[in-house]
Structures are given as C-alpha cells and as structure tokens.
Amino acid sequence: MTDVVPEIATADGPPRRGRPPVSEEQRQRQRLDISRHAVRLFAEQGVAGTSGEQIAQAAGVSERTFWRYFPHKESCVEPLLTRSVDAFCAVLRAWPADLELIDHLREAYTPVVDSSSDEDVDAVLDVVRLTHGEPALRAVYLMLHERAEAALVDVLARRLGQPSGAIDVRVQAAAMSAVLRVATDDVAQATVGGVTADMLDGHREQLARALSLVLRGLAQAVGG
C-alpha cells in the first residue's frame, strides 16, 4: 500500500541505515510456504496430532521463528485460505456499476483461487474439507470470512452511496459472505475425488445465482 522505494528514506526522516526490513511480499511468501507444509501435516495426522515443532521442522525454520510467523498453530491455514477469499473480494471490488453481478462474475471470477497453481487449488479445497471435523480450523475459516465481510461492506457502501455503518449495507455484506461460504463448502464437498474446470464453472454459476437472489431481496431495502 504505502510502498516506497527502499533507496530513498521513508518520508523526511533521516536516511535509512542498517539492514532493511524484509519486504512484506517476501514475508507473505514465507508464511504461505509454511502454510503448505502445515496443511499437509494437518491432513495426514490431524491438528491435535501435529505440534508446532513438527511444522517448523517440516518448513525448515526454528520453532521460535515459526511462532513469530503464526500466533497459533491453527492460523497456519490462513495464508492458503486467504488466497481464495481475497480473490473473490478483489473481483467484487472491480465490479462495474453498469453490470449485473451475475454477468460480472461470469466474466471475471475463477472460483477458489485466481491465477494460482493447481496444487494450491487442491490445497485450498483440502483445507476447506479439513475445517469440517477440525473445529479449530473451522474457527479460523469463519474469522477469515468475517474479514471478507468487512471488505464487502466497503464495496457495497461505495456502490450504493451509503455510509459503511448503514445497517442495510452490513446485512447485505453479511448475506453475501455467508453465501460465498456455503458455496465454497459445497464445491469442496463435491470435489473430494479431484477437481475439474467444469466443477469450478458450476460453482461459479451456483454462487452467482445465489448471490443474485440475495441481492434481489435486499436491493429493495436501499431503493435499488
């Protein structure tokens, strides 16, 4: 967001000296890498059966730095899951004012993860499936969707010309994020034996249809 080229000093302070902090991007990549290892271990031996030490070892970092990257071991699934949820939010942010939502999604949305490797698609779906039967992971999943909800509030408030605190905006955003969650759970359940492009397309249609229905009802509330 507020990036500056590392050469120049931050704002007007004294010129930077010493080792520069690692870039946020690199940090995210590190977290994602650990996340992949953690998810594999969680799937193999359950969450309770995997210790932080084990994850750290698998990822090739010390236990201490592992705990620096993740406050709780369950949050290891966050980097992978975020990719899926954030992709959806990004598409919503780019929703043109003169286009029906359903058409925009058909145009711009690739479900689960956008522009990502096949392995990550599988990994994300694995995590979603894991969240059933692993309450701790489910809690992380739900928290993530609530973060998405906050993003949707911003999008909808701007689109509807209402303050982001407006109750109608918040209801609409909550309903949309709930629909996204149900649809995601659904596609994860449907793809236990492997995922095909057809399935993802079906998911998009289902999601678009359900979202349209929710919005149809709510649009009347805000005079749409």
Partner DNA sequence: CAATTATTGGCAGCATCTGCCAAGAAGCGC
Partner DNA sequence: GCGCTTCTTGGCAGATGCTGCCAATAATTG
Q: Are the beta carbons of 33 and 59 closer than 8 angstroms?
A: yes
Per-residue contact string for residues 117-156; x = within reach of DNA by CB under 7 A: ----------------------------------------
Nearer to DNA, 71 or 161 (CB): 71
Establish if 196 lies at the interface with DNA (CB under 7 A). Answer: no
Per-residue HEC secondary structure of the chain comes to CCCCCCCCCCCCCCCCCCCCCCCHHHHHHHHHHHHHHHHHHHHHHCCCCCCHHHHHHHHCCCHHHHHHHCCCHHHHHHHHHHHHHHHHHHHHHCCCCCCCHHHHHHHHCCCCCCCCCHHHHHHHHHHHHHHCCCHHHHHHHHHHHHHHHHHHHHHHHHHHCCCCCCHHHHHHHHHHHHHHHHHHHHHHHHCCCCCCHHHHHHHHHHHHHHHHHHHHHHHHHHCC
Q: How far is the CB of 170 from a copy of itself (least distance, A)?
A: 5
Among 107, 135, 150, 192, binds a copy of itself (CB under 8 A): 135
Q: Answer with the entry of DNA, a copy of itself, none that 34 interacts with (C-beta below 5 to 8 A by kind).
A: none
Nearer to DNA, 19 or 198 (CB): 19
Query: Cα dist. 162→149, 154, 155, 159, 217 in Å?
Result: 16, 10, 10, 8, 18
Establish if 213 lies at the interface with a copy of itself (CB under 8 A). Answer: yes
Among 20, 161, 163, 165, binds DNA (CB under 7 A): 20
Q: Answer with the entry of DNA, a copy of itself, none that 21 interacts with (C-beta below 5 to 8 A by kind).
A: DNA
**Region 41-100 residues binding DNA, contact defined as CB under 7 A:** 50-53, 61-65, 67-68, 71-73
Among 33, 171, 199, 205, binds a copy of itself (CB under 8 A): 171
Rounded CA separation 80/87 (Å) = 11
* Size of interface with a copy of itself, in residues (CB under 8 A): 31
Nearer to DNA, 14 or 194 (CB): 14
CA 23, chain centre distance (Å): 21
Name the site residues for a copy of itself (rule: CB under 8 A).
135, 138-140, 142-143, 146, 167-168, 170-171, 174-175, 177-179, 181-183, 186, 206, 209-210, 213-218, 220-221
Name the site residues for DNA (rule: CB under 7 A).
6-7, 15-22, 30, 50-53, 61-65, 67-68, 71-73
